[in-house]
Amino acid sequence: MQNELFGVVAHDNKNDELRTAEEWSQEAQSLRAALHLHAHRYYNLDAPTIPDAEYDRLFQRLQKIEIEFPDLKTEDSPTSRIGGAALTEFSQVQHAIPMLSLNNGFEDEDVLAFDRRVREGLETQGEIEYAIDLKFDGLAINLRYIDGVFTQAATRGDGTTGEDVTENIRTIRSIPLRLQCENPPAILDVRGEVLMFKADFETLNQRQRENEAKEFANPRNAAAGSLRQLDPKITAQRSLGFFAYGIGYLEGAEKPASHRALLDWYRQIGIPTCQESAIVQGAANLLEFYRGIQLRRTQLAYEIDGVVYKVNRFAEQARLGFVSRAPRFAIAHKFPAEEALTQVLDIEVQVGRTGAITPVARLAPVFVGGVTVTNATLHNEEEVLRKDIRVGDTVIVRRAGDVIPEVVASVLDQRPLHTTSFLLPEHCPVCGSAIVKVQDETIARCSGGWLKCAAQRKGGLFHFASRKALNIEGLGEQLIEQLVDKNVVTTAADFYKLGVLGLSELDRMAEKSAQNILLALENSKATSLPRFIYALGIRHVGESTAKDLAKHFRDMDHLMAANEEQLLQVNDVGPVVAQSILHYFSDTLNVELVRQLIAAGIHWPQVEALDLSSAVFAGKSIVLTGTLPTLSREQASALIEKNGGKIAGSVSKKTHFVVAGDDAGSKLLKARELGITVLSETDLLEMCQD
């Protein structure tokens, strides 16, 4: 029963054709039990223990059995109901029109079959007009407006009865409390999704860590958990968003003729909708949109797990009607699974360029998020113990876009006997130096430093050569690893002592390639002071701080000689950063490295002390969000800084302007909430030109 409940194949390897009626009945019963259990954990507890893809697989298996053997279908089968029952802590709300779920498609063939069924149902051979929306990873909600005033909000619940979360929904600023129209309908039920934007999710988890509270596994859980707080004050402390995508009961107004017209009407009366939508003709264009948004998925400000296709015209939707638990006129086309189950084979530790010790789970190979994953980060010792990940555990692994795979949680019901908790080693696995913990830090570090520890040395050298530092093209991780392992390079200054003969003897390095590396090294000598400071790899000194240090001190000698009081005068430099800089330059080896690099020919233009007091953005804090039409993020930042502005990473009351491009997300919403001026790229260029 254990395997059946947690998504491992729920039947033996016998061919389906050879199975007995009793075996089919037993499997159907096991699948129903598993699906009930996981639905309860997902909808009622907000604590799922298997990935969505695993739940979908079990659901499809049960559907297949019940279609083939209708007598095995029971009244309580998960295939005939949606979601879970309302929680008893909230009062219950009866939906005027049921909130049904959608059938899922996973392959192109599923979408083509859906289109074929629609054309057959409408008795046409022509191409159908479809509306496309994103499938948000949040919580479905029904908002009721009476005479234009928000009066009630309810979750989907079991599709017929939901939970009354009115007071919590009132805390979501993007949801209007009164519709923006002179003659509102007597009753309007707005269907949509409550979600948490990625940036707000990171902020929430940071706050949870600071308060030593449990972190949320993903934005969907965070949104659901925030919305189900019995105290609305707690919900109000968490930034939630809302997008409308449908309509329920309507009285006292004429329903728009199509889905697109409905969303246009919503926007007019102040109800938020997502701009990432489309109207297309035919199945081929459905698939084209799907592939396009899949490529841009990681760039979106919120999580999605697919797209939704709907017949656009409501009259045609009515003709097609519903079947069982879902409409015939719509389907959800889900993305390939980005979560999967696998087993932890071992837990090792890796050493970063600053000596940071990172536990890494070695996994049984599993295909997730479009690639085969064999390793996943466990972040730090505290995180491993908090999640209680052990060797031998079956775990949920997540991968989103190009993000490093991470272990979400262990499936405790499948834990083997006699496992032991993770124990951080006392010595560095690379150099044998003691592993130490600094006060007020969660990260343990190798005490060997770059001179003793080859892992720190390799990381530091790769950072020095990276694009945002000295930008030495062709000098990648594999080449640097060889140079260090063969004792050719110890410090960054040794890069500039390399010759064609020494390089060409390395693996996969012909004479032509060696010449290209030497040319890239020569080109890298002409740099800027901020890049050079950043390339040194001083802890806590990122690109922005390096720019501030360069502006303030204007040359390396003044920076290296600065005391704590002088460092604290630099914009955004606090005690922690100041101490890190002082510690770096107190080491004579680091000072000597700077001297050697300059002696090797690295140079930069003199940093002039510019008077920007009258510049258009003098003293202004500016946030960039979204993709601008022509300027890259780096170009826009440089333009703003040239005109006296300071680039900030998040929107607050201290922000003066937000420059927004395409796919602007939560930062843009927050700017509008706070009444901050929003600029387009054109506005930015015109202001700087003036």
Same domain, 399 and 318: no
Say what the pLDDT of residue 339 is: 83
Q: How far apart are CA 98 and CA 337, in angstroms?
A: 29
Say what the pLDDT of residue 40 is: 66
Say what the pLDDT of residue 87 is: 52
pLDDT digits (tens, 9 = 90+) for 221-248: 888 888 888 778 888 888 899 999 999 9
12 exposure class (CB count in 10 Å sphere: 0-12, 13-18, 19+): exposed
Mean per-residue pLDDT, 373-402 = 87
Same domain, 197 and 254: yes
pLDDT above 90: percentage of residues in the chain: 49
Say what the pLDDT of residue 12 is: 47
| Secondary structure (3-state) at 74 | coil
Q: How far apart are CA 412 and CA 419, in angstroms?
A: 11
Same domain, 360 and 421: yes
Same domain, 65 and 176: no
> Catalytic positions, please?
135
CATH number reported for the structural domain that contains residue 214 in this entry: 3.30.470.30
Mean per-residue pLDDT, 677-688 = 88
Number of domains in the chain: 4
Assess whether pLDDT exceeds 60 at residue 379: yes
Same domain, 311 and 400: no
CA 640, distance to chain mean position in Å, is 27
- Domain closes at, from 334, 366, 398: 334
| Secondary structure (3-state) at 630 | coil
- Residue 598 in domain: no
Same domain, 194 and 315: yes
CATH number reported for the structural domain that contains residue 23 in this entry: 1.10.287.610
Regarding beta strands 330-334 and 104-105, do their DSSP bridges make them parallel or antiparallel, or are they unpaired?
A: parallel
- Residue 444 in domain: no
Assess whether pLDDT exceeds 70 at residue 6: no
Say what the pLDDT of residue 44 is: 52
Structural domain boundaries, residue 649: 621-689
Same domain, 234 and 323: yes
Contacts from 378-385 at CB under 8 Å and sequence distance 24+? 378/347, 378/406, 378/407, 378/422, 379/406, 380/442, 380/443, 380/444, 381/357, 381/422, 381/424, 381/442, 381/444, 382/442, 383/359, 383/442, 384/347, 384/359, 384/422, 385/421, 385/422
Say what the pLDDT of residue 506 is: 86
pLDDT digits (tens, 9 = 90+) for 628-668: 888 888 788 888 888 888 888 778 888 999 998 876 767 88
Mean per-residue pLDDT, 192-200 = 93
Same domain, 142 and 55: no
Same domain, 166 and 315: yes
Q: How far apart are CA 405 and CA 379, in angstroms?
A: 11
Q: How far apart are CA 448 and CA 445, in angstroms?
A: 9
- Residue 420 in domain: yes
- Residue 646 in domain: yes
Say what the pLDDT of residue 276 is: 93
Same domain, 323 and 378: no
Instruction: Read off the amino acid at residue 229.
Output: Q
- Residue 378 in domain: yes
Say what the pLDDT of residue 362 is: 95
Residue 471's pLDDT band (boundaries 50, 70, 90)? very high
Q: How many Cα neighbours within 13 Å face the side chain of 166?
A: 11
State whether the Cα torsion 588-594-600-606 is positive or negative. negative
Same domain, 187 and 325: yes
Regarding beta strands 646-648 and 444-446, do their DSSP bridges make them parallel or antiparallel, or are they unpaired?
A: unpaired
Same domain, 125 and 195: yes
Q: How far apart are CA 646 and CA 369, in angstroms?
A: 37
Assess whether pLDDT exceeds 50 at residue 13: no
- Residue 513 in domain: no
Q: How far apart are CA 444 and CA 357, in angstroms?
A: 5
- Residue 426 in domain: yes
Two structure tokens written together for 301: 């400000």
Mean per-residue pLDDT, 143-153 = 94
Predicted TM-score (pTM) of the model is 0.55
Assess whether pLDDT exceeds 70 at residue 1: no
| Secondary structure (3-state) at 554 | coil
CATH number reported for the structural domain that contains residue 646 in this entry: 3.40.50.10190
- Residue 368 in domain: yes
pLDDT digits (tens, 9 = 90+) for 504-559: 878 878 888 889 999 999 999 999 999 999 999 999 898 889 988 998 899 999 99
